């Protein structure tokens, strides 16, 4: 079962996206871009 996103999920989802960018998409984006303020998903 898949449930909808809850505000309390924000930190975990943000961490998952950042980890995916670092581990899976590293060839698509520079580490500088991944670590920049522009790509952070935190509130």
What local confidence, expressed as pLDDT, does residue 5 receive? Answer: 95
1-43 pLDDT, tens digit each: 999 999 999 989 888 888 888 889 889 888 888 777 656 555 4
Given this model, what pLDDT does residue 14 score? 85
Res 39: pLDDT: 61
Residue where the block lists tokens 């505000």: 7
pLDDT at residue number 37 = 63
Distance, in Å, from the CA atom of 4 to the CA atom of 21, rounded to the nearest integer, reads 23
DSSP string, 1-43: ------GGGHHHHHHHHHHHHHHTSTTTS-HHHHHSGGG----
Q: Which two tokens stand for residue 27?
A: 């060839």
21 and 39 in contact (C-beta within 8 Å)? yes
Q: Is the pTM for the entire model greater than 0.85?
A: no
């Amino acid at each position: 079962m898949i449930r909808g996103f809850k505000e309390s999920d924000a930190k975990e989802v943000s961490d998952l996206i950042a980890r995916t960018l670092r581990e899976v998409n590293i060839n698509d984006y520079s580490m500088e871009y991944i670590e920049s303020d522009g790509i952070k998903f935190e509130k």
